[in-house]
Amino acid sequence: MERFIDHCCKECTHASDTPCKDFVRCCVEGPVCHDDPACSAKRKAIIEKVALNEQFVIC
């Protein structure tokens, strides 16, 4: 998972033609629809790569 649009696992189905209403919140706080530490870590890795400091992320 390099970008938020990439699926963390097969549970995630969000795409422009199969949209998920929780997508935006899921990018930073997800996964919302399932519970998997590995999927959460993938999102965290995207954030940590570019976050300038601790105040960078706004939920």
Q: How far is the CB of 34 from another protein (least distance, A)?
A: 17
**Residue pair 1/8 in contact by the 8 Å Cβ criterion:** yes
Q: Does 38 bind another protein (CB under 8 A)?
A: no
Closer residue to another protein in complex, CB, 9/24: 24
51 sits in the region (left: phi over 0; alpha: psi -120 to 50; else beta) called beta
Q: Does 3 bind another protein (CB under 8 A)?
A: yes
Q: What residues contact residue 38 under an 8 Å CB cut-off, 6+ apart?
A: 8, 9
Kindly list the residues in this chain that would bind another protein in the complex (CB under 8 A).
3-5, 14-17, 19-21, 23-25, 27-28, 46-53, 56-59
